[in-house]
Amino acid sequence: MSLFQNLTEALGGFSEGVIHYFINGNVKPPCPLPKGPSIREHCKDLVLTDDQLRELMSKLLAAINKGLNKDTNKDAIVKCFPTYVQDLPNGQEKGKFLALDLGGTNFRVLIIYLEQNHFKMESKVYSIPQDIMTGSGTQLFDHIAKCLADFMRDNDVASERLPLGFTFSFPLTQIGLTKGLLAQWTKGFSCSGVQGEDVVRLLEEALARRGDVQIEVCAILNDTTGCLMSCAWKNRHCRVGIICGTGCNACYVEKSENVTTFPNDSGKPYCIINTEWGAMGDGGALDFILTEYDKQVDSASINQGKQLFEKMISGMYMGEIVRLALQKFTKQGLLFNGQGSEQLFTKGSFLTKYVSEIESEPKGTHTICLSVLAGLGLPHASEQDAINVRYVCECVSRRGAHLVSAGAACLINKMDFDHVTVAVDGSVYRFHPHFMI
């Protein structure tokens, strides 16, 4: 079943013309099933039923409502942070802006030139070394400030004072449009001295220590909000933003009257909510669909017991889920004649990009898959092994797509707009050949 079919079924008969997606591609059914019942039977727990998806939608809705209410938010798992963004763009905005997008092992700096219904931009991606990801907050923000200054010099704007939109793709408690406190690190980060602190202030202090560029942070937002807003600049029906990349999260447009966790001093009717739905399941809500592989991934992570929904979907974990399944099946003699390898049995060796590469291969051919397996010390893998490995990959990625589709359907049902555009971005969406419609 495709993402669109999941959504339309979940939405109780909305017509295809009502639901529009700012996305491309297809969720295709798995390739022909491997011969023999063994792999099929052992992958059953990775295949979700419609009833399970409906139960997930129901539990997510309850978790969101708990997060929106000031009386229950303290104990809520899905925090539903108000973003303080209450207006959507209308396409008439103009000007020159900087953007900083921090959310994973790489971050992006952009300069954007907006004209009426037209824009152009320049950007550059910078890496964050592992020692900085796990070092101090001062090291992290000094590194970001240096890259910002280098980027401005490279684009001949170092002498200008420019507004900056800061996309910070970690759980954030916002107490204003330009003030946000880090709730907790995710995605492998553990920088000291940042949790509970205002990350805008930390960035501004790092820039002040340099003193060579003039930047005014005009807003801090989550990457899902940035995704929604950029799509809404082109498409007036955009009401949901979803990121499927290193992590997974969603935001949506909520009626202000339903949000009691922030003072709506403006009196505006809507507010964008950053759900932080990746935390869904931290209180046991996903136990009914968690597999042994999900539990192993969680137990080996640096944030054990947290972000369980995200760990079932995102690019940081998808390859490892596949690897754990392949490892088990090999030890059971179902793959590779029971002959594994040190690489296959090493945590993190099966990259998520391998899942995308294997599924991008035309059905009936196995060149890419066999090459990946050879690189993992399995040159003896047969074509039947390749068929089986592809099937495992498809079960894992298809499950992730269906989980996202159920979440999107939950949000669309809750908003109850006549027309909805869902904006989607992130590395899994961009690079997996069939994850999204």
- Report yes or no: 178 and 217 within 8 Å, Cβ to Cβ: yes
Name the H helices within 75-222: 130-133, 137-154, 199-210
Provide the angle, in degrees to the nearest 10, between the axes of the packed helices 383-415 and 367-375: 100
Name the H helices within 97-164: 130-133, 137-154
> Out of 142, 198, 223, 298, which one is annotated catalytic?
223
Listed residue (252, 202, 177, 225) closest to 413, CA to CA: 252
Provide the angle, in degrees to the nearest 10, between the axes of the packed helices 352-360 and 383-415: 100
* d(C-alpha 320, C-alpha 323), whole Å: 5
* d(C-alpha 232, C-alpha 163), whole Å: 20
Total H helices, total E strands in the chain? 14, 13
Whether 120 sits among the annotated catalytic residues: the reply is no
- Residue where the block lists tokens 């000094």: 142
Whether 187 sits among the annotated catalytic residues: the reply is yes
**Separation in Å, CA 347 to CA 230, 343, 390:** 37, 8, 19
Listed residue (284, 348, 268) closest to 316, CA to CA: 348
Sheet order of strands, 420-425 included: 19-22, 420-425, 238-244, 248-255, 270-274, 81-82
Length in residues, the chain: 437
Structure tokens at 166: 């800061």
Q: Residue 287: helix, strand or coil by DSSP? A: coil
Listed residue (264, 235, 280) closest to 417, CA to CA: 235
Q: Residue 268: helix, strand or coil by DSSP? A: coil
Beta partners for residue 270, in sequence order: 255
Dihedral sign for Cα atoms in the order 406, 42, 428, 305 = positive
Which secondary-structure segment (H or E) carries 173?
Answer: strand 172-176
* d(C-alpha 160, C-alpha 151), whole Å: 13
Give residues with Cβ within 8 angstroms of 235, minimum separation 6: 20, 22, 421, 423
> Out of 79, 187, 306, 311, which one is annotated catalytic?
187
* d(C-alpha 433, C-alpha 40), whole Å: 22
Q: Which residues are catalytic?
A: 187, 223
